[in-house]
């Protein structure tokens, strides 16, 4: 398997993991009182937006040539880091 394909698989797995975490946060938000529920859903909406951006970056990577994917790597990693940090932050606030 090429380095690009391995990298894609790694990113897909992480994105799936984060999707499950966002779903878990959404379920937690539903059990909160109205004011907290609104706050939590606002945070979840931001996470979903970041998730969409990360997914778009992954699609861009998949559509890139084997030679060009290295150029996309830093932008992808920035999106991944931002989403990962945001999920960690939201998870700690939901407790």
Rounded to the nearest integer, the mean pLDDT of the chain is: 88
pLDDT tens, residue by residue, 38-60: 888 899 999 999 999 999 988 98
Give the pLDDT confidence of 59-76 residue by residue, as tens digits.
988 898 877 778 888 888
Which tokens belong to 88? 């960690």
Domain locations in the chain as residue ranges: 3-93
Burial class (CB in 10 A: 0-12, 13-18, 19+), 36: middle
pLDDT at residue 33, rounded to an integer: 85
Tell me what pLDDT residue 88 has.
Answer: 92
- The residue-averaged pLDDT of 19-24 equals 93
Q: Is the pLDDT of residue 85 over 90?
A: yes
């Amino acid at each position: 398997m090429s380095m690009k394909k391995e990298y894609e698989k790694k990113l897909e797995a992480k994105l799936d993991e984060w999707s499950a975490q966002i779903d878990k946060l959404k379920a937690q938000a539903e059990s909160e009182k109205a004011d907290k529920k609104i706050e939590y859903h606002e945070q979840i909406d931001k996470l979903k937006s970041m998730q969409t951006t990360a997914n778009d970056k992954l699609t861009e990577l998949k559509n890139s040539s084997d030679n060009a994917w290295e150029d996309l790597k830093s932008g992808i990693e920035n999106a991944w880091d931002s989403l990962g940090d945001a999920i960690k932050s939201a998870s700690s606030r939901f407790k």
